[in-house]
Amino acid sequence: MSSEHTTWADLAIDLYDKLTGRGAEITYHFEDFEIDVPDMVAPEPKYAKWRFNGVLKIRTRDEQSTE
């Protein structure tokens, strides 16, 4: 992985690329997590508030896998 990530998105993409095809699983646990999500990439976007309380799992697998 690159050690020069400039955003969290870059880090996540690099990590996902490394794990894809290896049967990896990334699990996030959220407790009363809130994030304001912009409706567009613009100087003055409107925001929607997203709330998470629970588990988000991201699984990767090779297309040829029998899992």
Q: pLDDT at residue 7 above 90?
A: no
CA proximity to 54, closest of 36, 33, 37, 35: 33
**pLDDT class for 65, splitting at 50, 70, 90?**
low
CA 51 from centre of chain: 15
pLDDT digits (tens, 9 = 90+) for 49-61: 999 898 887 776 6
The amino acid at residue 8 is W
Q: pLDDT at residue 48 above 80?
A: yes
DSSP structural state of residue 60: -
User: What stretches of 1-67 show up as alpha helix (H) in DSSP?
Assistant: 8-19
CA dihedral 5, 6, 9, 12 (to 10 degrees): 10
